[in-house]
């Protein structure tokens, strides 16, 4: 698994685990995991945009 995919998976699991009483990630259906992976990709993209804005302003 490449680095970006590992990051996405880690962030997705972190978002998932932040839910109250979330069952085990490994027992969840793939469609639900993919939803959290998309949240993770969106978060990474927003961070990258912010980083670029900060670099442009410097």
Look up the pTM and report it: 0.86
**What gap in Å lies between CA 8 and CA 1, rounded to an integer?**
11
Q: Do 41 and 6 touch, CB atoms closer than 8 A?
A: no
Number of alpha helices (DSSP H) and beta strands (DSSP E) in the chain: 2, 0
pLDDT at 1 (0 to 100): 59
Which tokens is 6 given? 């590992």
Q: Phi first, then psi: give them for residue 46, nearest 5 degrees.
A: -65, -40
Q: Judge whether residue 31 has pLDDT over 70.
A: yes
Q: Do 16 and 41 touch, CB atoms closer than 8 A?
A: no
């Amino acid at each position: 698994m490449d680095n970006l995919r590992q990051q996405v998976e880690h962030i997705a699991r972190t978002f998932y685990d932040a839910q109250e009483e979330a069952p085990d990630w490994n027992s969840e259906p793939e469609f639900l995991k993919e939803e959290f992976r998309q949240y993770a990709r969106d978060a990474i993209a927003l961070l990258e945009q912010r980083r670029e804005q900060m670099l442009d302003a410097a």
